[in-house]
Amino acid sequence: MNPSQDQTPAIACDLTAIPTEQRAAHETRAEQILFNAMQEMRELTDGYALRFAADDYDSITQFIANERLCCPFFNFGLEVTPERGPIWLRLTGGAGVKEFLSATLKNEAER
C-alpha cells in the first residue's frame, strides 16, 4: 500500500483555492447557508447532517462546488428528497473534522 494513501488531508481551509472573483460570494453564501438557511442539524459519528428547504438547492450546490476547493478534507453528501422535500447536506471527514465543524458552527452562532 502506498503510504500517502493512509494520510488524511490536513484540516486547513485555503480560500485562495477559490477563484478570486468568486471568493466574496462564496463567503457570503457559506454564512447564509450555515447560519440562516439551515433548518436542522443532526450530529453524526464523523460530522453533521444539515437540513435545508428544497428552494436552497442551487445555493447548496454552489457552496459545495467552492467549498471542496478550499476545504479538501470534507466529504460531502447531498440527499434530495422527493416531492420537493427537504435537502440534507452531510459534512463529514476523517479525524478532527467533526471537532472543526463543531467549533466553526459554535463560533459563528455566537456572532
Q: 17 vs 12, 62, 77, 82, CA distance in Å?
A: 12, 15, 21, 34
Q: What is the pTM of this model?
A: 0.85
CATH number of the structural domain spanning residue 49: 3.30.1360
pLDDT tens string, the chain, 111 residues long: the values are 444 455 667 898 999 999 999 999 999 999 999 989 999 999 999 999 999 999 999 999 999 999 999 999 999 999 999 999 999 999 999 999 999 999 887 765 555
The total domain count for the chain is 1
Has residue 66 been placed in a domain? yes
Contacts for 55 with CB less than 8 Å, ≥ 6 apart: none
Q: How far apart are CA 46 and CA 49, in angstroms?
A: 10
Q: Is residue 104, in this structure, part of any structural domain at all? A: yes
Q: What range defines the domain where residue 50 resides? A: 15-109
